[in-house]
Chain A
Amino acid sequence: MANTPIRDRPVAAGLPATADSLLLQHEVEQLLYLEARLLDDWNLDAWLRLYTPDASYVVPTTDLPEGDPRCDLVFIDDDRDRMEARVRRLQGRHAHREYPWSRTRHFVSNIVVTAVDGDEVEATAAVAVWRFRAGESAGYVGRYDVRLRRVEGRLRLCGKRAILDHETLSDHGALSIIF
């Protein structure tokens, strides 16, 4: 089997450097940085408010990064209702791998706006998360493919597909945080 480039996302090198695209780039970056900060602060109610009511959050398995939740096994396939349930679970005392919460730091970089279509924007980013808990540390590395929509003048996330670069979760045992 030959090595083949990943073709499941646009390879456009970003938008032309106009004043509008610079503003949009800034807006997308600030939104993803804000998401990272809210996750690291465990301010999960505020995190949910960054997402639209029709939002989705998908994490494919490590052995099938192109996995489609409609027909393949993935790690996470949340609609808005389950994102809220995930947050409630993490805020309670019975999500035992996150009670007490781990300390995390989400680093988001290499942010490229790949498409603009009316009110919707697509972007891709590199992400690394350090997680520390119970005397152990491990990193999650991967990329985000996000869809954003302008709602009442502000950009909101309407879809995040977070793809892990790891071959397995042998270093982690679980994906108990929001990646």
Chain B
Amino acid sequence: MDVDKLVYDHPELGKFKVHRSAVGAPEIYELERRRIFDRCWLYLGHESEVPEPGDYARRVVAERPLFFVRNRDRQLRVFHNACPHRGALVCRSDRGNAQVFKCFYHSWTFDLSGALVGVPDIDGYGTGFHREEMGLRSPRFDSYRGFVFVCFDHGTEPLRDYLAGATEYLDLVADQDAGGMRVIPGSNRYSIKANWKLLAENSIDGYHLPALHRSFVEYLAGIAKAAGRSVTTDGNRRGVGRSLGNGHGVMENDAVYGRPIALWHPSYGEEARAEIRTTRDRLIARHGLDKALRICEKSRNLLIFPNLIIADIMALTIRVFQPTGPAGMEVTAWELAPAGEVGIRLRRRLDSFLTFLGPGGFATPDDVEVLESCQQGCRSGGVEWMDLSRGLHREPRGTDELQMRSFWRRWQSLLAGTPHVEQYERGLPPDAVPKAIPPPAPTAPAD
């Protein structure tokens, strides 16, 4: 299979297919490591995780151990977690507060800005040794509204340009509280025995909610019914899918559940109504009606290429997945909340999260199961292509697949080194229309 022919992209024929080797072939995975994960901006963490000088957090991003820290000037610093001397990990806890980082091998010591400040028996080094050259090394890093990213390629565009249209949706998260947003202590760490791109797709797939997550929908409907109310379980709720450039995409739908920020649901109880109205009024005063109602009433699943999801649904979650092979990934998810939210409001948010999300929630385990199932089915043979043509013939809805196609187009161009054009589809902005639609391929792939 040619590496530039893994995505069959012909909207004019009503066809969009991805070859199954894209989600299982070891040689594709090796190419992805170099051409995608070594080149793209990758999510590292959130600034709120290290609020005070000396606070640090440790991560593995694209198989590279890294850590980030707030220094004495309250600036964020990101380091490769490797002693410049012999390479031992210098940060050996997942989080904490430190005055300095001391390597446990030879006791070389680094300050919070990475400078080498202590070398035992330094007289043993001659004129070729320069302490100022032996500080901790940093990858490129930058942040947008609290979200911190790293990039291992100096040729990649700046973060703001890379994020393209995704910044509008990050703003809709960051603007939910005048005091900013914070990551709640505790994280979900689990694995899925499936290719990482299947979770990218699944996280922005609105089509599967009423089918796969039927037990969740029934759970909410049961609570509403007990409270003497009816709620919609309609899978075709109003919504849109959008391509945001550079492979980023979003689905934005009417919420069928409550939103702790400011959309009441019977599961919150009557006593929550007044306070949710107050929050709505405050958001309307600050952002105007249109933006405030989007924040309150719409759910959004945002994919930032390649491996970051921000799901602003019945709670707010940051989900990042690190591939561990062609058919495996490690997932970490955090909960994000308005920094000023405390007491019963925070409790309600935490509770809302757990109804759907996480390894013990009423929906996430079903996603894990179905992605592992897809991975197994892909090995079966017989079916060579995956179909992602839903909604090609109409204005893209939230339950269609435009946002997934945008991901695959970017993936294909990076993998094959071909130019990335935002392929024309109905509903895309005019500047996304390419100058010429590629001619149809002579033969459509057989299924």
Question: Taking beta carbons and an 8 Å cutoff, which residues of A are in contact with B?
Answer: 1, 59-64, 67, 69-77, 85-86, 89, 92, 94-98, 167-176
Q: Quick check: B350 and A94 within 8 Å, CB to CB? A: no
> Bound complex: CA of A71 vs CA of B188, how far in Å?
15
Chain B residues within an 8 Å CB radius of A169: 188-191, 359
Q: Knowing A1-B96, A95-B215 are in contact, say whether A72-B186 is a contact too (CB < 8 A).
A: yes
The number of inter-chain residue pairs (CB within 8 angstroms) is 117
Question: Taking beta carbons and an 8 Å cutoff, which residues of B are in contact with A?
Answer: 93-94, 96, 184-193, 212, 214-215, 218-219, 222, 330, 334-335, 346-347, 350-351, 353-354, 358-360, 362, 364-366, 368-370, 372
Question: Which single residue of chain B is at the shortest CB-CB distance from A179?
Answer: B360
Q: Quick check: B93 and A1 within 8 Å, CB to CB? A: yes
Partner of B185, one of A64, A77, A97, A98: A64
Chain B residues within an 8 Å CB radius of A72: 184-186, 350
> Bound complex: CA of A73 vs CA of B222, how far in Å?
25
Q: List the 4 closest A-B pairs by CB distance, nearest first.
A: A73-B186, A174-B365, A168-B189, A75-B360
Q: From DSSP, what is the main secondary structure of chain A's interface residues?
A: loop
Chain A residues within an 8 Å CB radius of B185: 64, 67, 71-73
Q: Quick check: A73 and B335 within 8 Å, CB to CB? A: yes
Given A63-B94, A75-B354, A173-B193, 16 more contacts at CB 8 Å?
Answer: A73-B186, A75-B358, A77-B354, A94-B366, A96-B369, A97-B366, A169-B191, A170-B190, A170-B191, A170-B330, A171-B191, A172-B191, A174-B369, A175-B359, A175-B360, A176-B369
Q: Quick check: B189 and A64 within 8 Å, CB to CB? A: no
Question: Which single residue of chain B is at the shortest CB-CB distance from A173?
Answer: B368
Chain B residues within an 8 Å CB radius of A67: 185-186
Min Cβ gap B185→A in Å is 5
What are 18 contact pairs spanning A and B, CB under 8 A? A61-B186, A63-B187, A70-B350, A71-B350, A73-B184, A73-B334, A74-B350, A74-B354, A77-B350, A85-B222, A92-B215, A95-B215, A95-B366, A96-B212, A169-B188, A172-B190, A173-B191, A174-B359
Q: Knowing A172-B359, A175-B359, A175-B360 are in contact, say whether A60-B186 is a contact too (CB < 8 A).
A: yes
> Bound complex: CA of A70 vs CA of B341, how far in Å?
12
